[in-house]
């Protein structure tokens, strides 16, 4: 640190001595130059400390972002696997459906039965709904 102060002091004194080679340097000027150098050195050290703190906080943010990136990468890999599985299932279902269509075209009686089956499906809505509400409910007591 003393070396830095000496170098700064020398840098400040060289221009002063070259400009005024005939005038002797006054102690007040040297004291002022020394004080200025100390103020500049203190400001530089303060700035260095601020930058170190900022660097630490940014390093923490970088680590946090790396963790988020790793989590996102893991999620992306899982999604890619899911898409690949869905593609495989979709291909299987489409090929199965195409084979079924070819089969049903080859046998028209099976197609007629299939259409009849689809028309009378368990999921289809029946023509008439059963009478759910009984006006005599609750049941009359026998006896």
Q: Is residue 140 part of a domain?
A: no
The tokens 């009378």 sit on which residue? 120
What is the rounded CA–CA span in Å between residue 44 and residue 8? 12
Q: Is residue 92 part of a domain?
A: no
Q: Is residue 7 part of a domain?
A: yes
> What pLDDT is recorded for position 25?
79
**pLDDT per residue over 109-141, tens digit each?**
988 888 888 887 665 555 565 555 656 666 655
Q: Is residue 70 part of a domain?
A: yes
Residue 27 sits in which domain range?
Answer: 2-85
**pLDDT per residue over 48-83, tens digit each?**
999 999 999 999 999 999 999 999 999 999 999 999
Q: Is residue 115 part of a domain?
A: no
CA dihedral for 33, 38, 39, 40, sign (positive or negative): positive
Q: Is residue 136 part of a domain?
A: no
Q: What percent of the chain stands above pLDDT 90?
A: 48
Q: Work out how many domains the chain is built from and give that number.
A: 1
Q: Is residue 101 part of a domain?
A: no
Q: Is residue 29 part of a domain?
A: yes
What is the rounded CA–CA span in Å between residue 104 and residue 62? 62
């Amino acid at each position: 640190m003393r070396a830095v102060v000496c170098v700064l002091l020398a840098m400040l004194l060289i221009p002063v001595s070259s400009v005024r080679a005939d005038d002797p340097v006054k102690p007040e000027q040297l004291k002022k130059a020394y004080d200025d150098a100390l103020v500049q050195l203190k400001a530089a050290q303060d700035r260095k400390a601020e930058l170190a703190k900022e660097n630490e906080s940014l390093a923490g943010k970088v680590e946090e972002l790396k963790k988020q990136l790793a989590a996102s990468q893991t999620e992306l890999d899982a999604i890619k696997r899911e898409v690949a599985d869905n593609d495989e299932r979709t291909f299987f279902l489409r090929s199965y459906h195409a084979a079924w269509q070819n089969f049903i075209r080859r046998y028209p009686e099976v197609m007629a039965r299939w259409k009849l089956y689809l028309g009378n499906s368990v999921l289809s809505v029946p023509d008439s709904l059963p009478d759910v509400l009984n006006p005599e409910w609750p049941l009359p007591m026998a006896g």
